[in-house]
Chains A and B, each alone.
Chain A
Amino acid sequence: MTQLETIRNFSIIAHIDHGKSTLADRFLQMSGAVPEREMREQFLDSMDLERERGITIKAQTVRIHHRGTDGTVYHLNLIDTPGHVDFGYEVSRSLYACEGALLLVDAAQGIEAQTLANALLAVEADLELVPVINKIDLPSAEPERVAEEVESLIGLPAEDCLMISAKTGEGVDELLAAIIERVPSPKGDVRAPLRALVFDSHYDQYRGVVTNVRIMDGTLGTGDSLVLMASKTEVSADEVGVYTPLPRSVATLGPGEVGYLVPGLKSVAEAKVGDTVTTRARGADEPLPGYKEPHPVVFCGMYPAEGQDYSELRDALERLHVNDASFTWEPETSGALGFGFRVGFLGLLHMEIIRERLEREYEVTIVATAPTVEYQVLTAGGDQLVIDNPSLLEPGFEEIREPYVEATFLLPAEYLGTVLELCQGRRGVQTKLDYVSEDRVELDYHMPLAEIITDFFDVLKSRTRGYASFDYEPLGYRPGDLARVDILLNGEPVDAFSSIVPKDRAYRYGRRMVEKLRELIPRQLFDVPIQAAQGGRIIARETVKARRKDVLAKCYGGDVTRKRKLLEKQKEGKKRMRSIGRVEVPQEAFISALRIDRD
């Protein structure tokens, strides 16, 4: 157990790529937590996916020791968080385990949309914010200007900003001193009944569910008999420990400490992030407030690539859910794809990441349908329906409402025209245009969420060469003039290809879809008509002409082996196709057909 006064718990928060994980590297290195020869860049980004994409997806917790100028050894518990908008839930959960947050700002880029959004989360969680200007080593760094921005946009005095380079280590000593000085030590009553917040969890192949906990009151010791208050499950503390960054078991965790608990759960479904752990004897009466349930906004169908893997996919979803409770899933059936799941996500990147993690960590191959939002439908009969699968929208409804968001952009003034044009084309309504400085603009738009879950991010990024940042908040539902467009293959509608689009775009959308599918669907033994239909009317048509030649030249000199290998390859290729009626459709058609560029 550690003295409260020597503990500092803080998160590192920032816009994407402003250097959070690199700063964590310096902390790990300077405290000697990671030996020099094991050190690598963004050490805490341990998932392959994180390293490949160069981004943090999962928050990571580490405890380091630091001797302060007064000679005291402090226990610093840092949580490195992700910066991308889709992972805001990951950040907010981390904040509840802390008393302070380092708000990192790139000295060259200045304040960006997620800087604001994350700062707001920290303020709401009542944390001490320490503004830190990073990357001062860059030739294009303008730390003074950025400090002014911190003052004008976030309301923290410019002179409170620390100037550092997470890359060179410059200023990091001073930052450590500031953390000890400014971040309050945790409060908590060691004699009170145990109350520990489960702020994260993951599934470990050997130990089962591992939860990350922050002790608020009381003590948690190895072997204790415990209760998870929300799920009313009795467990025992098989192991208690801290991340150094490798897990190291300890006898007890006391108030203010952050560590992990292996509760020996039988079912992974019982581990709920936000739950409160207490002791069975003399337990706490009131659980901690817990978390708001995250609300998925993007949905897609996920189907096992081969039908028989349905139960494997279910197990994979269940286990991944332990590590990321922010996606939702429920069974659904598709005429085209068979048995699968409707899965909800916090955004498009979140969807991609979940899909890739399922495939990599659980070795299931997935066919995913196009992302969609959740619609509210008022039927002619007066029923209220919620629809997250376009094929379920019956024509003849009274009204359809779609989710809107308030989108906030921060961008250099030179890209203003480009971004205005982009938002206009996506049914956006401008609500704010502010010059936050001479050459930086803040823009607010009300936009249908459906407009930003396709290629919006990519288009924004490429048109502004990455200089515009963007964040969004849900705004509720508004009526839309929308229609369902169906795709028919060989005369049969394919539910997995149905989509809900603005009526005035239905024709163009249908045209693009059939053209794209004509490219993606290989020629078959007969002509395959591809049609787009809206309300029973065909609005576009293409044909994949029947294959006319598919034959090998002779097997000269009896070399049968090579020709046979070609046939075996063809056979494998055929197995990877989905048969829809008699049409063979490659798996990638389901997702890439819907990535159609709308501009």
Chain B
Amino acid sequence: MYVHVPFCSARCGYCDFAAFEGMDDLIPDYVDAVVEEIGSRVPVEASTVFVGGGTPSVLPPEQLARLIGSVPRRQGAEVTVEMNPESATVEILEAARAAGATRVSMGMQSALPHVLGYLDRAHRHDTLESAVRRARRVGFEHLNVDLIYASPVESDADWRRTLESTVALGPDHVSAYALGIEPATPLGVEVASGAKEGPDDDVAARRLEMAVGALASAGYVRYEISNWAQAVPCVHNLRYWSLGSYVGVGSGAHSYAPSSGTDPEPIDRRAGGLRTWNHRHPRRYMAAMRQDGVAVAEGERVAGDTALLEWLSLGLRRSCGVELSHEELGHVPEVLFEAGLVEVGASNGRPDSEPQEMHKGRLALTTKGMSLANAVVTELSLAFGEC
């Protein structure tokens, strides 16, 4: 289950998520509405919970505890809460922990003040360091930090320092994203009008290579395009990439119910499923819950080539790739191998067995392919769509 908290103390210029500032007076009623939605939507116990935002750490501790506590979940479930360094107080960390949170994800973004400034972040690196210390003191072993690279004010040396600081902090999980320019954000508008410089793709590619090198030598395993873990991945996110079912509650949250069985991935790649999403604005969301007891705004049934495209684009994000039949492997365009973007491994994970002898195998992106995932997915879905 994904639980969305749409409140922020200040919105970052790059952010295109359902996040709003200056609406804190809505919090109590909003939490009521979400608790009600949780009660109405979960027939089974959740195996993972992700409380994301927005900024869940801006909630009063007891409200956050109420949210977490109201999700019925299995024994040993992974429960992640997203926090901003400046609002990750002992009180909120303890409240989350007591309510059952097992993992904290911190928005670090960068270790350098000028980069944090460009990104409109309210914290400094020492704020983050002490927040991480507090989280550990409260008892969180599983800790993630989010990084953003390739903002135009960042140099290669800056990024190297951010990576070094990250490794020094030693979280057991790291997510690193290239700065994305979304058209409907303040930053997007400034870049489009030429008022601000945007990131450069070649620079971003180089920074990603730096991250791949630095994190690998520090013992992190890259298990997805933007995610690294020392030992334990984020099981919740893996669910998205495997097209498993999930229920999203709160404003703007998305839900997915696959049409075919999953084992653990879709058995029929074209069967697809039903995707729905809630009203994005918290007021709209709350009104819908109040009036109808349902907050779904819209949905779409995904099937056929569209389902195939989703399966490829999500599945290939993982280092383990996707499983293909022998025949499907034959349809993989030769150019992808020649350009060194994909590789084939044995279905059981033994990379040494010969692909020709296998009935099925796993197709995975190489490090280079991970930087060009869209191009690979487009090629593949065209090739598979025709056969």
Question: Which A residues lie at the B interface, using CB under 8 A?
Answer: 525-526, 545-561, 563-564, 566-568, 570-571, 574-575, 582
- Kindly list chain A residues whose C-beta atoms are within 8 Å of the C-beta of B306: 564, 568
Q: Could you say which residues of chain B place their CB within 8 Å of the CB of A558? A: 2, 240, 246, 248, 253-256
B350 to chain A, nearest CB (A): 28
B225 A551 Cβ-Cβ under 8 A: yes
- Complex CA distance for A384 and B194, rounded to whole angstroms: 58
A551 touches B370 (CB 8 A): yes
Query: Smallest CB–CB gap between A119 and chain B, Å?
Result: 53
Chain A residue numbers with a CB within 8 Å of B335 are 525, 582
B57 adjacent to chain A (CB < 8 Å): no
**Known contacts A551-B371, A553-B226, A558-B248: A567-B377 contact under CB 8 Å:** yes
Chain A nearest CB from B375 CB (Å) reads 5
Query: Could you tell me the distance between the alpha carbons of A566 and B177 in the complex, rounded to whole angstroms?
Result: 18
**How many Å from the CB of A313 to the closest CB on chain B?**
23
Question: Can you name 16 extra interface pairs (CB under 8 A) apart from A525-B341, A557-B2, A557-B252?
Answer: A525-B339, A525-B372, A548-B205, A548-B206, A550-B375, A551-B373, A552-B374, A553-B177, A553-B180, A553-B226, A560-B254, A560-B275, A561-B254, A561-B277, A571-B378, A575-B382
Asked whether A556 lies within 8 Å of B52 as measured between CB atoms, the reply is: yes
B240 touches A547 (CB 8 A): no
| Interface footprint category on B | 35 or more
Residues of A within 8 A of B240 (CB): 555, 558, 560
- Interface status of B309 (Cβ within 8 A of chain A): yes
Q: Which 3 A-B pairs have the closest CB atoms?
A: A548-B205, A549-B205, A558-B254
With A525-B341, A555-B314, A560-B275 already in contact, the answer to whether A550 and B252 are too (CB < 8 A) is: no
**Structural contact, A564 and B309, CB atoms closer than 8 A:** yes
CB neighbours (8 Å) of A568 from chain B are: 306, 309
A560 contacts which of B256, B339, B371 (Cβ < 8 Å)? B256
Once A555-B240, A561-B275, A564-B309 are accepted as A-B contacts, the answer to whether A549 and B2 lie under 8 Å apart by CB is no
- With A555-B240, A561-B254, A564-B313 known as contacts, the answer to whether A549 contacts B372 (CB < 8 A) is yes
Contact (Cβ within 8 A) A549 B17: no
* Complex Cα gap A558–B335 (Å): 31
- Supposing A549-B202, A549-B208, A554-B226 touch, asked if A574 and B254 sit within 8 A by C-beta, the answer is no
Q: Which of B224-265 contact A (CB under 8 A)?
A: 225-226, 237, 240, 246, 248, 252-256
Contacts of B102 in A (CB 8 A): none
| Complexed CA–CA distance, A558 and B341 (Å) | 26
Q: Name the residue in A545, A549, A575 with the highest tally of chain B Cβ atoms < 10 Å from its Cβ.
A: A549
When chains A and B are docked, how far (Å) is the Cα of A76 from the Cα of B384?
A: 66
Q: Which residues of A contact B204 (CB under 8 A)?
A: 549
Docked Cα-Cα span, A574 to B17, in Å, equals 29
- The residue that A549 contacts in the complex, of B4, B178, B255, B313, with Cβ under 8 A, is B178
Q: Are A547 and B275 in contact (CB under 8 A)?
A: no
A51, chain B: closest CB distance, angstroms: 34
Q: How far is the CB of B293 from chain A (nearest CB, A)?
A: 22
Q: B323 an interface residue at 8 Å Cβ cutoff?
A: no
* Residues of B contacting A564 in the complex (Cβ-Cβ under 8 angstroms): 306, 309-310, 313
